[in-house]
Chains A and B, each alone.
Chain A
């Protein structure tokens, strides 16, 4: 397995106000697999994503990525782990306001030794004409595409997407999902996407439903539906 998640537990607060957010999550993903984490607000899906991404820590359990366990990594090693293996896409685009589209993507490329060609990626993302613009000159969809470019250009082993379409309209959301799908197919990255949009589950290889910090069920789709065909 490329990614193994064993008995991950996480709680916030102490005493009476202690809340168990993750109650022992087990999950295994193959390289190139597209996984959707589904669940209502507070189910623990974003927390799990952040722990996989090394920006949050588990109270117990272990995550092993490509044979490398994360649990005893110090801050610097975690940073290097993120740098080498991960790409992040958030609901908010968090672009650097005074860098152009191209430069924002180059920020991601700077971190990788196996970076993709920026020009090609710009074309793939449909941002070629906008490459010289700064984020404030772009629409929400264009900004999110730039954010995807920034994450993908690293050619990361795992692409972590936290509600990437949460702030977008239907049409733009579909465009973004198509793009992620295309990236997955083109570059073979493992993708873990957090969403509360039930329709998105059909485009995944594996769908993990979470409720109250535990996995309710894990479904392996026989056939992935293309993003184009999704309706909600």
Chain B
């Protein structure tokens, strides 16, 4: 087979147009490298995570009791087909404002992975969680200290004993000997009921058995892990056994806490989250590749326009269209292939660590080994080449679709412009000139517009998210329901149906002990429902608050007289007809139009409890006054329908407000039932054992704090990509415009125009178009990014954070956009100055 001499052009093209190829290749290398690094790190870490269950013998679940179990209890529980392991811990509030949960080092279950340093060998030494250490600036050899009594309180919102943590040993110190990852704490959930983990203010650590033995029993949490003797084979079986086990355990012991592994967020969350970003990263890669492919398309069109007579001659000589398409496709594909290979090498080496670092910023994962990821290679090499091939093939088939004669005559427009579009002579000459340059390069500018649109999406996201988190924190702080919200905890023995007498006594004791003298305190009830199982969105718990009719903390809650007389929210009447109405049940919302079907022959006004929903609920699911919402029992199938009467300005959580007595009726709670207190001052006269948790600013803003930590570095990267796209696009397109007009520029120089004047003609046109595109795309981009964020949060997260885009973001965008433009324009001005005057006099070859 003969070698095509046209192939000799490739290296020379590369050398002649090095600048163009280098910037495009760099953009591709970083895009592919980053995505490859991400996919490799993700795949390797997911593998390591999945294998960690066996490697570190991770528990099948754990439960907590109030007192150390005796031998008989132990024996009877193991008789249920379990192996039990002690997993006691103690919590300490440290002087850095965080809470450290300390275990004795494990050798049987939930083994510990040593990441750095060594395990503690003697009392006074400690190995702390690697991520906790990173986030709190701790390293091996440092000393950590228990907060002095009355010092900083634990902020982790941890259950039960957190408030007292640290009191027994104020001032006690440990020396950090190692950084570790506990296999049952890949995600730092201090409490399994928390909506978000806290990698900053909560950590775990291990000490020697001798050190742990020093802690008195009354300061310990008696937690036990179990492994099934006969492990369940399927997830369903695991769930069934978990549900049965809690009943069996309750017969033997009084449970304070019960978390089977499948429900343990500290173990499962990271696994579920890892991999969920894959789709987004791949989408980023594909969009970038399409943009780069179109940039190549534009450069190819420009080359074809420049080489039109040569192409005409080659076609006249007998070169087929396909041969020429292949010839002009070769360089983009070659550059893409090389970029993909270099990108993958970078991905597997440097960038993998950057991406793994992002996971290590959020999760305390054990060590991983990089594994070859064929799927990632295909996605970051084959797919980009295919995208490049398809786009350039399309552009080339179109561009080379003219006849040889048209090429020879340089008639490259399919529809020839009959005459120049008229421009008033009153428009200054330079402006008219610029307008014609813009008209001449309209297709190029359309690519610029598409590129700017995409780059602006990245830029606005990268700049807005950190500010949105700050804004969220501010908004939450400014419209807290009350400064303190205490949720009471009814002792488990007050609900023991097998011992009714004891249970009644405990309940009476609870009621009397949870009264307070605090004048700002106001009782409220709360009942936790969840969004329906058939909702297409991420399922989440929804707190239904029952507040007093004249509440000073939540005003305007609808009166419930009608509902109290005749209504019912339960699903038998309402829920049964949901699917028949075809109404959306996504966030639990339905339009009122379906009421007749849903409510049967009842008046909907009376039938359902009337509620206010929080602004977060309204914003997240687009539910407004007049809509109905449907929610479901957290651990059951029963559904409840509520009529939304208004939106309450509360952004901290997705929740519902109704009258306390209506809530009592709705969920068959006694008329004296209450769950806790709103209060503007701390309540000090209730025994802490009755206070289940306190909802305060710290706990409500966990989400934003965590997002800031886990996505902080990612945002800079997103900004980098945006700026890179701006610069590459502007560079390539201005270069094309200058090359296209090289003869005119040269002629203008011969006529006596200065380089600066010519720059004003050719560069300023691009400046104008760039600025117009940049500013014009911002509103659309802003709307689109908010919409995407809403969809993403609906699909992937509980709670709601509005992507607030403040003016500061727009100013930053403008500064970055203009600066990146200015850098490129500077080089383009220099290029104009370099166009030689004999260009205009040269033969077209």
Q: Which residues of chain A have a CB within 8 Å of any CB of chain B?
A: 50, 53, 55-56, 75-76, 79-80, 82-84, 86-88, 90, 92-99, 103-104, 106-111, 135-136, 140, 143, 150-151, 154
Contacts and interface: CB of A to CB of B under 8 A. Distances in A.
A94 B318 contact: no
Contacts of B12: 98-99
A96 B317 CA distance: 13
Contact of B5 (A79, A97, A107): A107
B845 to A, nearest CB: 5
Contact of A96 (B9, B316, B320, B843): B9
A96 B318 contact: no
A76, A99, A107, A135 — most chain B CB neighbours (10 Å): A107
Contacts of A150: 317
Contacts of A92: 309, 843-844
B451 interface: no
B201 interface: no
A76 B317 CA distance: 13
Contacts of A76: 320
Contacts of A82: 316-318
B497 interface: no
A143 B405 contact: no
Contacts of A75: 321
A99 B8 contact: yes
10 contacts: A53-B316, A55-B403, A75-B321, A83-B319, A86-B316, A94-B312, A94-B408, A107-B5, A111-B318, A111-B319
Q: Which 4 A-B pairs have the closest CB atoms?
A: A83-B318, A106-B5, A94-B313, A82-B318
Given A55-B315, A82-B316, A150-B317, 9 more contacts: A55-B405, A75-B321, A79-B320, A80-B318, A94-B310, A99-B5, A103-B8, A107-B5, A111-B317
A98 B13 contact: yes
Given A50-B405, A96-B9, A98-B9, A135 B317 contact: no
Contacts of B310: 94-97
B16 interface: yes
A135 B318 contact: no
Contact of A107 (B6, B13, B403, B404): B6
Contacts of B315: 55, 79
A154 B318 CA distance: 10
B318 A86 contact: yes
Contacts of A97: 310, 845
A55 B409 CA distance: 12
A154 B404 contact: no
A83 B316 contact: no
Interface string B1-37: 0111110110011001000000000000000000000
Contacts of B318: 79-80, 82-84, 86, 111, 154
A99 B4 CA distance: 12
Nearest to B309: A94
Contacts of B2: 110
Contacts of B16: 98
B317 A108 contact: yes
Interface residues of chain B: helix, strand, loop or mixed (majority) = helix
Contacts of B319: 79, 83, 111
**On chain B, which size bracket covers the interface?**
20 to 34
Interface string B305-327: 00101101111111111000000
Contacts of A86: 316-318
Contacts of A55: 312, 315-316, 403-405, 408
Contacts, number: 91
Contacts of B4: 110
A151 B317 contact: yes
Contacts of A83: 317-320
Contacts of A93: 845
A88 B9 contact: no
A66 to B, nearest CB: 16
A88 B8 contact: no
Contacts of B9: 96, 98-99
Given A55-B405, A86-B318, A88-B317, A96 B6 contact: yes
A75 B12 CA distance: 31
Most chain B beta-carbon contacts within 10 A, residue among A86, A97, A136: A97
Contacts of A80: 318
A101 to B, nearest CB: 12
Contact of B845 (A94, A107, A111): A94
Nearest to A102: B5
B615 to A, nearest CB: 64
Contacts of A110: 2-6
Given A83-B317, A107-B6, A111-B317, A95 B845 contact: yes
A108 B405 CA distance: 18
A132 to B, nearest CB: 12
**Among A79, A82, A84, A90, residue most surrounded by chain B Cβ atoms (within 10 Å):** A79
A136 B318 CA distance: 25
Contacts of A151: 317
Most buried by B among A50, A83, A96, A135: A96
Nearest to A103: B5
Nearest to A93: B845
B626 to A, nearest CB: 64
B325 to A, nearest CB: 13
A106 B307 CA distance: 18
Nearest to A108: B317
Contacts of A109: 5
A151 to B, nearest CB: 7
A90 B408 contact: yes
Contacts of A84: 318
A83 B315 CA distance: 9
Contact of A56 (B320, B405, B844): B405
Contacts of A143: 843, 845
Given A92-B309, A99-B9, A87 B317 contact: yes
Interface string B610-637: 0000000000000000000000000000
Contacts of B843: 92, 140, 143
A93 B408 CA distance: 11
A111 B324 CA distance: 13
* B8, B307, B312, B313: residue with the most chain A Cβ atoms closer than 10 Å: B313
Nearest to B311: A94
A216 B479 CA distance: 98
A98 B15 CA distance: 11
B307 to A, nearest CB: 8
A79 B312 CA distance: 12
A139 to B, nearest CB: 11
